[in-house]
A = this chain, B = another copy of it.
Amino acid sequence: MDEQSIIAAAADLPRVGGGIVIGIGDDAAVVRPAVGYEVLTMDTLVDGVHFTQAWASPADVGWKTLAVSVSDLAAMGAEPRHALLGLTLPDTLTETWTTGFFAGLAEACQVWRVPVIGGDTVRGPALVITLTLTGEARQPLLRTGAEAGWLLAVTGNLGGAAAGLHALQTGKTAPAAALTRWRRPPARLEAGRALAALDRRIACTDCSDGLVIAAGLLAGDLGLELDADKLPIDPAAMALADDQNQAIDWALVGGEDYELVLAFPAASEAEARAAVAPLPLTVVGRLLPEAGRWLFRGGRRQGLPAHWGFRHF
């Protein structure tokens, strides 16, 4: 596909959402300003690093391109508005790939009501995809502000994405749900929006890099403890794991589940649970006044290694 065909494909993405004055075709896009606060995020996906063409279809990559940014906005309690798409495409890329990519991106744009209003397409030695997503929030949810004694909780369930990736890497037969969880991650937009609307003291992030990392971001200088026996493990991860240890590892450090991880005072638990419904909300630990990261398991407490979350055991 030449640049003109790619610009045409981008211009042909769903014309959803609102506020666009000038879309693709001028020196820059023009939109009406956000209401409340404007929220902006950017994510880059690189072929061979964030996805592999053998494990994810072009359409899956298109979906994920938007999904990971929508998840960032979900974690801010924000409403997505507009996307800009930056594509660096090698000459070796087939038209089939590009067409599939735009089809998957179009599905995600439709689901989350996000129009692509601009971007840039260039030739380059590697396939690199960068998406900028803007949104708006009346009162954004932040990562900061959590206090000792607050509960740590997570929406939905964990470990499914890592289980799916494991199946793809090892060639194991996997439930379709696990593969889909990795290939087409969700974004907990409604849950984030409802939590922000509570106007309570809630700290929030998404667990793109796993629960341990996410809980650590919320804790900051505080300590934290997680209870391995309380983790809401994805049934597909349970089915695929060799043993319970592996399923727990996937849930704690596998990452890419794109659930929301929250910290809030115990008194807000019922409200938070009602806000994220019909998603389940599971309390998986709490914040401690003194630094230190701990894992309870079968009644025993062990230290969480400092770098856990960046690698699997």
Chain A residues with a Cβ under 8 A of chain B: 21-22, 25-44, 46, 48-50, 72-73, 75-76, 78, 82, 84-88, 117-120, 122-126, 128, 130, 132, 134-137, 140, 142-144, 204-206
Contact B33 A123 (CB under 8 A): no
Q: With a CB–CB cut-off of 8 A, which chain B residues contact A50?
A: 122
> What is the count of identical protomers in the complex?
2
When C-beta atoms are compared, the residue in chain B nearest to A142 turns out to be B26
Residues of B within 8 A of A30 (CB): 37-39, 76, 137, 140
User: Distance in Å from the Cβ of A25 to the closest Cβ of chain B?
Assistant: 8
Cβ-defined contact, A33 with B31, below 8 A: no
Q: Which B residue sits closest to A81, measured CB to CB?
A: B38
CB distance from A237 to the nearest CB of B (A): 24
CB neighbours (8 Å) of A43 from chain B are 120
* CB–CB B122/A42 < 8 A: no
Contacts A31-B40, A46-B88, A84-B132 given; 4 further ones with Cβ under 8 A?
A44-B122, A49-B122, A49-B124, A134-B134
Minimum CB–CB distance for A170 against chain B, Å: 24
In whole angstroms, how far apart are the Cα atoms of A45 and B46 in the complex?
15
Residues of B within 8 A of A27 (CB): 41, 72-73, 75-76, 143, 204-206
| A73 x B142 contact (CB < 8 A) | no
Residues from chain B with a CB closer than 8 A to the CB of A142 are: 22, 26
The contact sample of 21 A-B pairs, CB cut-off 8 A, is A27-B72, A27-B205, A28-B72, A28-B76, A28-B135, A29-B39, A30-B137, A33-B37, A34-B34, A34-B38, A42-B84, A42-B86, A42-B130, A44-B87, A44-B130, A48-B124, A84-B132, A86-B86, A120-B130, A124-B128, A132-B132
